[in-house]
């Protein structure tokens, strides 16, 4: 992924915070990198169902840490390749973002959407329908994994909509192995399932991606 900053913690903070028991435990939760083909094999298979889905079931773009910046703003700030311009109320008005789905550089945030790597509807189909409202909110605002949320051009995000890789892939061919790895990592992080068609597509993509690694940390 093309990211320039860790979300939710600064480099300076990492240097000054002592290694606590909690930090050690968090480190232990990290799964060692896997080849993409092996990661696809770990995905559980299940039939998908969209029964009862409503987008409102996933409360999103919240200000979880109450710093005046909602989730969208946090992603824009973290992913800007230059120091972003931020006005009162944490309104991000300028910066420079690379939309890796289509290889386009954007300087006005109005041209960007924040994409859920695995769309909310797809997450619902794949297991989130059984989650609590709190867990769905955590999923929709997941700032602890860079691949969960990504700033991309509004055009590509709306083209993707709620489709899985069997029906949509980034228009930039060079982005597809990264995208496949990010998709698989997100599903593994949140213990989401795949259906047979999705699995077959992911397996086929993985075969053409060489040693593309997959890294993820199970969600709390």
The confidence band for 29, taking pLDDT boundaries of 50, 70 and 90, is low
The confidence band for 27, taking pLDDT boundaries of 50, 70 and 90, is very low
Q: What pLDDT was estimated at residue 31?
A: 81
The 10s digit of each residue's pLDDT in 109-154 is 999 999 999 999 999 999 999 999 999 999 999 999 999 999 999 9
The 10s digit of each residue's pLDDT in 55-101 is 999 999 999 999 999 999 999 999 999 999 999 999 999 999 999 99
* Mean pLDDT for the chain overall: 90
Taking alpha carbons only, the member of 139, 131, 182 closest to residue 160 is: 182
DSSP string, 66-110: -SS--HHHHHHHHH-SSPPEEETTTEEEE--EEETTTTEEESSGG
Give the whole-angstrom CA distance, residue 131 versus residue 180.
25
Q: What pLDDT was estimated at residue 12?
A: 30
Do the beta carbons of residue 143 and residue 149 sit within 8 Å?
Answer: yes
The structure's pTM equals 0.87
Q: How far is CA 112 from CA 90, 142, 156, 167, in A?
A: 16, 18, 9, 22
Tell me: pLDDT of 184 over 50. yes
Q: What pLDDT was estimated at residue 88?
A: 97
Tell me: pLDDT of 20 over 70. no
Tell me: pLDDT of 8 over 80. no
Tell me: pLDDT of 163 over 90. yes
Q: What pLDDT was estimated at residue 77?
A: 98
């Amino acid at each position: 992924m093309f990211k320039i900053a860790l979300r939710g913690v600064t480099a300076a903070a990492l240097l000054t915070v002592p290694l606590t028991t909690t930090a050690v435990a968090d480190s232990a939760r990290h799964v060692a990198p896997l080849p993409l083909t092996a990661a696809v094999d770990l995905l559980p298979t299940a039939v998908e169902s969209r029964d009862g889905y409503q987008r409102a079931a996933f409360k999103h773009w919240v200000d979880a840490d109450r710093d005046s910046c909602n989730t969208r703003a946090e992603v824009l700030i973290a992913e800007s390749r230059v120091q972003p311009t931020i006005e009162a109320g944490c309104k991000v008005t300028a910066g420079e973002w690379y939309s890796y789905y289509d290889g386009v550089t954007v300087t006005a945030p109005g041209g960007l959407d924040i994409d859920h790597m695995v769309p909310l509807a797809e997450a619902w189909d794949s297991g989130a329908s059984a989650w609590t409202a709190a867990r769905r909110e955590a999923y929709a605002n997941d700032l602890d994994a860079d691949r969960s949320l990504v700033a991309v051009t509004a055009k590509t995000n709306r083209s993707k909509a709620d489709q899985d890789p069997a029906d949509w892939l980034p228009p930039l061919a060079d982005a597809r192995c990264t995208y496949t790895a990010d998709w698989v990592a997100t599903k593994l992080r949140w213990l989401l399932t795949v259906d047979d068609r999705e699995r077959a597509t992911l397996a086929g993509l993985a075969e053409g991606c060489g040693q593309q690694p997959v890294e993820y940390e199970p969600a709390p």
